[in-house]
C-alpha cells in the first residue's frame, strides 16, 4: 500500500506546454479521478506517474521514495489501458501471467495469483479462452486481472471503460467500486466522463489547460465550484450561466440583479460591475406565466422519460434574452412557445467575476 506525491511536474510537446507545474498528493488507499476535457493533460499526467512519459520539471514520489527516474517496471505501479492491449494468441491465463513469467516468478506462485485474481474478477471459468472469444467487458476484466497479479502499490486506469457500451459501462463501474473495496489499494483513474468521476472517486482532480482547477470530493466540487469552468464542466445538464450586474456594493457587499430581478447578495465586487450568475438546472423553479418574477418562453423540451429538460429563453421587454435549461419531472408537458416564468432561489446562486473566479455570496 502506498501514497503518491507529485511536485511541480511540467511537460511540453514541442512548443505546447501541456502540464504547467502540477502539485498533488494522493493518500494511501484513496481512489482519485483525473477528469477534464480532451487535451487538458490528464492522460499525460497518468503516463508520467507510470514512467511511460518523460517530463521536463518536477518529481514523483511513491511514499517517501523519489521514483522520478525509475523505469516503469520498477515503480510499483500497474496500468490498465483503454485498448485492453491483450495478446490475441494467448489465453486469458496466459495474458494475465505474462508479466510474471517475464520477471521469473515461480510457476506455482503465478498459478496462485492468476487464480485468485480471476476469482475476484469473476472470470475463473474463462481462463482457457482467447480474447476473441470474450465480450468487451470480459476483456476489460482480463486487463484488470493482469494488473492485479502484479500486486502493485498503485493501480492506474486510463479511460478503461470508454470502449464499452452504456449498459456495460454501468456494470463495470459497479465492478470497479467492488474491486476497490476488496483490494483496498491506491487507485488513480482518468476519464472524461463525469458520471464515472462522480460515482467512483473519493476525490476528483479537475484539470484544464494543463493546470489543476479544483480538487475535492465529488459533492464538494458539485456544490461549491471555485471557477466558472468547474461549474459548467461538472453536472449534466451543465450549470446555467447568465449575465448579471452588482449594485450598491459597499463594505457589506451588494445586490446582484439578473433579468431586472434581484437574485443574490455578493460579499465582494465593485458597484456596477458585470458578474456571471450560475444556477443548476434542477434548482431553477418554473411556473406558469406571471407566477415567478422572470418571464420566459419554452423553445424546446427534451422528454427523457423520468425527467424533462426545458430549454427556455428568459428575459422581459427591454432586457437581453438569455437561454437557460430547467430540469423537471418527466410528467410535465411543455409545448414549444409556451409562456412560463422562472425563479432563481438565492441559496442556489453561484457568482463568478469576468475572469471566471468565484465571488462569495452573502448568507
pLDDT of residue 81: 86
pLDDT of residue 348: 94
pLDDT of residue 313: 95
pLDDT at 258 exceeding the cut of 70: yes
Average pLDDT over residues 241-270: 86
How does the average pLDDT of the chain come out, rounded? 91
% of the chain with per-residue pLDDT over 90: 67
Least confident of 68-72, 137-141, 229-233, 356-360: 137-141
Domains of the chain: 4-233 (3.40.50.300), 240-359 (2.40.50.140)
pLDDT of residue 251: 67
pLDDT at 20 exceeding the cut of 80: yes
Average pLDDT over residues 162-170: 82
pLDDT at 151 exceeding the cut of 70: yes
pLDDT at 306 exceeding the cut of 70: yes
pLDDT of residue 317: 78
Confidence of residue 171 (pLDDT cuts 50, 70, 90): confident
Confidence of residue 1 (pLDDT cuts 50, 70, 90): low
**pLDDT digit string (tens) for 41-77?**
999 999 999 999 999 999 999 988 999 999 998 999 9
pLDDT at 349 exceeding the cut of 90: yes
pLDDT at 201 exceeding the cut of 90: yes
Average pLDDT over residues 29-46: 94
pLDDT at 286 exceeding the cut of 60: yes
pLDDT of residue 84: 80
Nearest CA to 55 out of 3, 23, 13 is that of: 13
Confidence of residue 314 (pLDDT cuts 50, 70, 90): very high
pLDDT of residue 172: 85
Confidence of residue 85 (pLDDT cuts 50, 70, 90): confident
Confidence of residue 281 (pLDDT cuts 50, 70, 90): very high
pLDDT of residue 137: 86
**pLDDT digit string (tens) for 353-363?**
999 999 988 76
pTM score: 0.90
Confidence of residue 186 (pLDDT cuts 50, 70, 90): very high
Amino acid at each position: 500500500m502506498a501514497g503518491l506525491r507529485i511536485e511541480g511536474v511540467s511537460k511540453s510537446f514541442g512548443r505546447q506546454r501541456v502540464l504547467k507545474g502540477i502539485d498533488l498528493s494522493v493518500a494511501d488507499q484513496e481512489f482519485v479521478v483525473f477528469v477534464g476535457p480532451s487535451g487538458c493533460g490528464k492522460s499525460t499526467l497518468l503516463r508520467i506517474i507510470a514512467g511511460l512519459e518523460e517530463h521536463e520539471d518536477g518529481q514523483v514520489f511513491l511514499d517517501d521514495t523519489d521514483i522520478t527516474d525509475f523505469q516503469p517496471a520498477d515503480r510499483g505501479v500497474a496500468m490498465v489501458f483503454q485498448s485492453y492491449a491483450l495478446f490475441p494468441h494467448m489465453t486469458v491465463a496466459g495474458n494475465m501471467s505474462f508479466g510474471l513469467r517475464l520477471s521469473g516468478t515461480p510457476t506455482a506462485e503465478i498459478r496462485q495469483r492468476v487464480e485468485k485474481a480471476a476469482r475476484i474478477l469473476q472470470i475463473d471459468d474463462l481462463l482457457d479462452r482467447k480474447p476473441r472469444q470474450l465480450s468487451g467487458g470480459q476483456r476489460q476484466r482480463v486487463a484488470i486481472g493482469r494488473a492485479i497479479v502484479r500486486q502493485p502499490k498503485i493501480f492506474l486506469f486510463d479511460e478503461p471503460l470508454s470502449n464499452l457500451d452504456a449498459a456495460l459501462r454501468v456494470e463495470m463501474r459497479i465492478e470497479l467500486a467492488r474491486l476497490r473495496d476488496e483490494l483496498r489499494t491506491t487507485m488513480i483513474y482518468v476519464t472524461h466522463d463525469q458520471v464515472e468521476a462522480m460515482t467512483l472517486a473519493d476525490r476528483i482532480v479537475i484539470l484544464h489547460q494543463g493546470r489543476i482547477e479544483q480538487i475535492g470530493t465529488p459533492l464538494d466540487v458539485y456544490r461549491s465550484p471555485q471557477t466558472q469552468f468547474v461549474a459548467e464542466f461538472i453536472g449534466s445538464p451543465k450549470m446555467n450561466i447568465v449575465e448579471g450586474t452588482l449594485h450598491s456594493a459597499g463594505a457589506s457587499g451588494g445586490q446582484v440583479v439578473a433579468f431586472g430581478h434581484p437574485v443574490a447578495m455578493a460579499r465582494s465586487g465593485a458597484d456596477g460591475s458585470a458578474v456571471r450568475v450560475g444556477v443548476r438546472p434542477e434548482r431553477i423553479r418554473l411556473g406558469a406565466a406571471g407566477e415567478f418574477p422572470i418571464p420566459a418562453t419554452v423553445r424546446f423540451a427534451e422528454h427523457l422519460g423520468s425527467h424533462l429538460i426545458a430549454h427556455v429563453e428568459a428575459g422581459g421587454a427591454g432586457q437581453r434574452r438569455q437561454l437557460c435549461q430547467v430540469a423537471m419531472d418527466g410528467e410535465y408537458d411543455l409545448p414549444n412557445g409556451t409562456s412560463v416564468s422562472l425563479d432563481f432561489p438565492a441559496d442556489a446562486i453561484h457568482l463568478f467575476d469576468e475572469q471566471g473566479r468565484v465571488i462569495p455570496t452573502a448568507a
